[in-house]
């Protein structure tokens, strides 16, 4: 059992002098130099992004929109000063251009002169897209271009959000104006409701007054009909008197008596005409009072027609009363003349004829009054019918105005009230409606900690690659001994494996204490590093022993393949199909998966799988090494004189 260890010690005793020991010491620190230096240089590059020099040139010219000064360029610069995502250097265009060429600046961000004008253009009704100019030079490093794309997206989102917040704040101010307008509309609707109530009351009074007028018009119609009939009787009496005068003056006494009767009838007719005139005047006065009591009705065409009819009736009845009185006076005079002067027949005839004409005019006027009274009665009846429909309509108007006022008040209450400070906060929320909340089940923290599994694996593989540049794959005396092939194989593997484990411990101490690796599972991390060192040494030992110098080349090729196909930097899904196909067969695939679990956390099953695969590879490599030792105990011409030696 101790034979392999004695063989290992025998191999290590060869390094007795200063230079051999320095060689072994160098071999031990190679993984540390490789792994720790790479991790150190890439430990937290994003945390130091504010050291990347970026020139910012503000050429923007402020503008004024709706009395408000817009200086978007200055606001943008202020925002950059507050965030410090990169190393902003605020300068002019000439210095920025010179700095980009010389490498003093890695990027230029320019705010053009029309930035504020275009950003505020939506308020003018002709929106234009504002631009920010970013200039790069890949001669200063391609990674800067990648960072620039990230910064460009961030800046664009920030500017868009700020612009959108401004637009929304203006829109919210418009909502406040809408709210005030709805409030004014609600007050107006309430006033309309009150006016509709007054209209309802006035229309009720109008309906009552028109009913009274209609009754008076009916009485006027009846009285005017009586006047008309009396005039017709008077006309008959006057005609008889005129005939009597025409037949001869010899019956003057009879004519005088007839004339006296006619005078009496004319007096009665004049009295009836005066009564009809007074009634028409009262009706006209009542209509005027109604118009003053209900101004909203006075504009109605039917009511205006009613006013015209009552005025005409009053005028005509007044004229009839005047004509009737004139006729009565003349008939009285005629009677007196007929009784007092029978000798004046010619004059009497003329007067009789004049009286006859007057009576005819009176009859015609009375007929017109009767017709007008009939029209007035009909018009008042129609107006009364229409007025009866006014109160229900006014009530509907009042109810509708009430509903309108209630609806406007409800709409006003649904429009949120806000002051400028509230609108600013609301605009900010609407401009950024989604707040991303991300969580990481097993956060690496910094870039270097996330890349540690990859670099630790590379460092341990490199150790296996260079270990047999100083150590012999197998000692000749051990190969020629009678020891079993397995013992010889283990004895040849143990020196490099032991040194590899020591190198792994040194590497862990440096990255943990010096860089702050701080794995979640430190013991598991150390154990996995020791297993990886033993496995990688076994694989490199197997290749070197079986293939000689070609084995070192194969090991180097495997390293290159694993750099590309192990998924240490980017997800393997982003790699070409060929690399994805060989990914499961590469040793570093499993060390990287295992280190990720022990350093940052993850599924224990992944760690178990990694350990099992590495153990399997270790056993397989030692088995192949044992078989190779067994074969190499038979010397061939190729072994005595190899075609390629190192």
Tens-digit pLDDT profile for residues 55-100: 999 999 998 877 778 788 888 888 888 877 788 899 999 999 999 9
Coil, strand or helix: which one is 54? strand
Please provide the distance, in angstroms rounded to a whole number, between the alpha carbons at the two ends of the chain. Answer: 33
pLDDT of residue 491: 84
234 and 332 fall within a common domain: yes
Give the count of domains, the chain.
2
Determine, yes or no, domain membership for 331: yes
Last residue in a domain, options 335, 355, 384? 384
Determine, yes or no, domain membership for 161: no
Higher pLDDT, 361 or 621: 621
Query: Would you place residue 284 in the very low, low, confident or very high pLDDT band (cuts 50, 70, 90)?
Result: low
Residue 546 near residue 624 (C-beta atoms within 8 A): yes
Determine, yes or no, domain membership for 140: no
pLDDT of residue 269: 61
623 and 481 fall within a common domain: yes
Q: Please say if the pLDDT value at position 338 is more than 60.
A: no
Higher pLDDT, 263 or 312: 312
DSSP label at residue 482: S
378 and 455 fall within a common domain: no
CB atoms within 10 A of CB 11: 19
465 and 374 fall within a common domain: no
Residue 30 near residue 537 (C-beta atoms within 8 A): no
Higher pLDDT, 236 or 446: 446
Residue 594 tokens read as 């295992």
466 and 369 fall within a common domain: no
| pTM of the model as a whole | 0.57
What is the average pLDDT across 356-368?
Answer: 65
Determine, yes or no, domain membership for 335: yes
Determine, yes or no, domain membership for 497: yes
**DSSP H or E stretch at residue 517:** none
Half-sphere exposure of 566 (CA within 13 A, CB side): 26
Q: Please say if the pLDDT value at position 48 is more than 60.
A: yes
450 and 380 fall within a common domain: no
Q: Say how far residue 555 (Cα) sits from the centre of its chain.
A: 60
Last residue in a domain, options 384, 415, 433? 384
483 and 557 fall within a common domain: yes
Determine, yes or no, domain membership for 172: no
Determine, yes or no, domain membership for 416: no
How far apart, in Å, are the Cα atoms of 241 and each of 157, 238, 515? Answer: 116, 5, 149
369 and 275 fall within a common domain: yes
User: What is the SS3 string spanning 544-608?
Assistant: HHHHCHHHHHHHHHHHHHHHHHCCCCCCHHHCCHHHHHHHHHCHHHHHHHHHHHHHHCCCHHHHH
Alpha-carbon distance of 283 to 290, in angstroms, equals 11
Percentages of the chain per state (helix, strand, coil), in multiples of 5? 80, 5, 15
pLDDT of residue 295: 65
Q: Beta strand 87-90 with 53-58: parallel, antiparallel or unpaired?
A: parallel
The pLDDT tens digits of the residues spanning 474-486 come to 876 766 677 888 8
Query: Would you place residue 359 in the very low, low, confident or very high pLDDT band (cuts 50, 70, 90)?
Result: low
583 and 471 fall within a common domain: yes
Last residue in a domain, options 384, 408, 435? 384
Q: Beta strand 53-58 with 107-111: parallel, antiparallel or unpaired?
A: parallel
467 and 612 fall within a common domain: yes
Higher pLDDT, 184 or 182: 184
What residues contact residue 327 under an 8 Å CB cut-off, 6+ apart? 234, 266, 269, 270, 355, 358, 359, 362
| 115 exposure class (CB count in 10 Å sphere: 0-12, 13-18, 19+) | buried
Specify the length of the chain in residues: 646
Determine, yes or no, domain membership for 535: yes
247 and 330 fall within a common domain: yes
Higher pLDDT, 388 or 507: 507
Instruction: Return the minimum-mean-pLDDT range out of 255-259, 281-285, 405-409, 499-503.
Output: 255-259
Q: Which residues pair with 53 in a beta bridge?
A: 87
pLDDT of residue 322: 77
Alpha-carbon distance of 380 to 386, in angstroms, equals 10
Rank 101-110, 233-242, 631-640 by mean pLDDT and report only the highest: 101-110
pLDDT of residue 249: 53
Alpha-carbon distance of 179 to 173, in angstroms, equals 10
User: Which residue range is the domain that position 319 belongs to?
Assistant: 221-384
Residue 629 tokens read as 């030792």
347 and 463 fall within a common domain: no
DSSP label at residue 44: S
Task: Return the percentage of the chain with pLDDT > 90, whole number.
Answer: 21
> Mean pLDDT for the chain?
75
């Amino acid at each position: 059992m101790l034979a392999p260890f004695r063989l290992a010690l025998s191999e290590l005793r060869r390094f007795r002098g200063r230079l051999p020991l320095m060689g072994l010491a160098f071999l031990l620190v190679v993984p540390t130099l490789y792994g720790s230096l790479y991790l150190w240089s890439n430990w937290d590059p994003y945390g130091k992004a504010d050291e990347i020099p970026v020139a910012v040139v503000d050429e923007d010219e402020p503008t004024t929109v709706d009395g408000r000064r817009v200086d978007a360029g200055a606001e943008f610069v202020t925002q950059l000063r507050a965030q410090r995502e990169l190393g902003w250097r605020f300068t002019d265009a000439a210095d920025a251009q010179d700095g980009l060429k010389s490498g003093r600046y890695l990027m230029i961000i320019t705010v053009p002169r029309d930035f504020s004008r275009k950003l505020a253009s939506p308020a003018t009704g002709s929106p234009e897209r504002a631009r920010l100019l970013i200039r790069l030079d890949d001669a200063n490093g391609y990674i800067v271009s990648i960072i620039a794309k990230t910064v460009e997206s961030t800046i664009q989102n920030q500017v868009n959000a700020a612009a959108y917040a401004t637009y929304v704040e203006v829109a919210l101010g418009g909502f406040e104006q809408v709210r005030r307008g709805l409030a004014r509309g609600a007050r107006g609707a309430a006033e309309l409701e009150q006016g509709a109530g007054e209209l309802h009351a006035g229309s009720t009074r109008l309906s009552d007054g028109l009913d009274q007028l209609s009754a008076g018009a009916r009485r006027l119609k009846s009285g005017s009909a009586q006047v008309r009939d009396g005039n017709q009787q008077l006309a008959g009496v006057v005609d008889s008197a005129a005939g009597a005068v025409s037949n001869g003056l010899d019956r003057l006494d009879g004519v005088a008596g007839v004339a006296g009767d006619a005078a009496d009838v004319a007096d009665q007719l004049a009295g009836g005409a005066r009564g009809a005139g007074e009634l028409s005047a009262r009706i006209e006065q009542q209509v005027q009072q109604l118009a003053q009591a209900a101004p909203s009705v006075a504009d109605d065409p039917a009511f205006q027609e009613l006013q015209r009819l009552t005025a005409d009736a009053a005028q005509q009845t007044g004229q009839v009363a005047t004509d009737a009185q004139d006729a009565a006076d003349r008939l009285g005079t005629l009677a007196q003349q007929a009784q007092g002067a029978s000798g004046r027949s010619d004059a009497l005839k003329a007067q009789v004829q004049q009286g006859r004409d007057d009576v005819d005019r009176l009859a015609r006027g009375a007929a017109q009054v009767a017709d007008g009274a009939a029209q007035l009665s009909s018009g008042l009846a129609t107006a009364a019918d229409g007025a009866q429909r006014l109160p229900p309509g006014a009530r509907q108007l009042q109810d509708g105005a009430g509903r309108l006022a209630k609806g406007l008040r409800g709409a006003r209450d649904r429009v949120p009230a806000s002051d400028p400070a509230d609108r600013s906060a609301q605009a900010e929320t609407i401009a950024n409606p989604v707040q991303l909340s991300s969580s990481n089940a097993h956060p690496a923290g910094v870039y270097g900690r996330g890349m540690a599994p990859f670099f630790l694996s590379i460092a341990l593989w490199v150790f296996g690659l260079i270990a047999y540049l100083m150590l012999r794959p197998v000692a000749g005396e051990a190969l020629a001994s009678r020891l079993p092939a397995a013992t010889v194989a283990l004895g040849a593997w143990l020196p490099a494996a032991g040194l590899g484990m020591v190198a792994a411990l040194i590497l862990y101490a440096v990255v943990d204490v010096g860089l702050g690796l701080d794995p979640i599972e430190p013991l598991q991390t150390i154990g996995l590093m020791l297993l990886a060192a033993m496995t990688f040494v076994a694989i490199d030992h197997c290749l070197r022993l079986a293939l000689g110098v070609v084995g070192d080349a194969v090991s180097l090729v495997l390293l290159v393949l694993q750099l590309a196909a192990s998924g240490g930097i980017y997800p393997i899904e982003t790699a070409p199909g060929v690399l994805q196909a060989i990914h499961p067969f590469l040793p570093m695939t499993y060390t990287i998966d295992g280190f990720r679990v022990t350093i940052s956390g993850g599924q224990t099953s992944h760690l178990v799988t990694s350990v099992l695969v590495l153990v399997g590879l270790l056993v397989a490599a030692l088995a192949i090494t044992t078989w190779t030792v067994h074969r190499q105990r038979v010397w061939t011409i190729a072994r005595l004189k190899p075609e390629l030696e190192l």
